[in-house]
Amino acid sequence: MKELLSNINSQIRHCQYCRLYETRTHAVCGEGIAPSKFMFIAQAPGRTEDAESKILVGPSGKVFDDLMCEVGLQREEIYITNLLKCFLPKCRKPRTDEINTCYHLYLKKEIELVKPEIIITLGYHVSKFIFKIYGLKIPTRIDFREAFGKLHISKNKKIVPVRHPATVVHKSKQFSKLVKDYSIIKTLHTECPLIDNCKQHKNFNQGLLPINFVKANCFGDWFSCKFYN
């Protein structure tokens, strides 16, 4: 596993498959443990990451570390990567061809190797792309505000879109919104604490409760389950 990821990383470091190689200083590889329950996907390296060749170490990285503190996770327990491995000049939006190229060359393989139970997508562009890949209905940009911080289930994958830490770098008042989005991650650490004595869950064991309900609630966001509260 380590060797396969390391092969992918050395391809990333020398990649020239899209125009972004012309303006980057370094291509930035994913980091963390594999396999991992949680895989975080950010958009692309920022200026500091591009200069230092490390993921989420700039101002967004500091916000990300504060958020990990809030949810009780260490970087060593997760896998973090970017949708695009190279800096976007003038911090412009990612283009569809760049996303498709980088995903099929690298991110797709990283997901196969890391085998995350839960993918956490940072920001609108990453969330929209991953929703498309996993066949989820894509909300409009405005409706994504409602989708952030919630669990979405498709193709055997749990996906949680959250606002990108970079939003706080520009508007510090946004931090509390991010804490709210990320708080679901604490719940997703564990199965529902009522599982052994819950009548509804017993219905599942007797084939009376749909598997998707159980994935979304008993082994998912149990804190929001109507039978929990």
Binding site for ligand SF4 (CB under 6 A): 12, 15-18, 20-21, 27, 84-86, 98, 101-102, 105, 192, 194-195, 198, 200-201, 217-218, 222, 225, 227-228
By beta-carbon proximity to ligand SF4, the closer residue of 71 and 209 is 209
By beta-carbon proximity to ligand SF4, the closer residue of 21 and 74 is 21
Strand order in the sheet with 118-122: 31-32, 79-82, 38-42, 118-122, 157-162, 152-154
Minimum separation from the CB atom of position 156 to ligand SF4 (A): 19
Minimum separation from the CB atom of position 46 to ligand SF4 (A): 14
Burial 80-101 (b: 16+ CB within 10 A, else e): bbbbbbbbbeeeeebeeebbeb
40 contacts 81 by C-beta, under 8 angstroms: yes
Minimum separation from the CB atom of position 168 to ligand SF4 (A): 25
**Residue 120, helix vs strand vs coil:** strand
Minimum separation from the CB atom of position 209 to ligand SF4 (A): 7
By beta-carbon proximity to ligand SF4, the closer residue of 156 and 197 is 197
Which amino acid is it at 213?
A: F
By beta-carbon proximity to ligand SF4, the closer residue of 68 and 125 is 125
Write out the DSSP string of 149-192: TS-EEETTEEEEEE--THHHHH-GGGHHHHHHHHTHHHHHTS--
Minimum separation from the CB atom of position 42 to ligand SF4 (A): 13
154 contacts 136 by C-beta, under 8 angstroms: yes
By beta-carbon proximity to ligand SF4, the closer residue of 105 and 179 is 105
What is the sign, positive or negative, of the torsion defined by CA atoms of 20, 101, 98, 60? negative
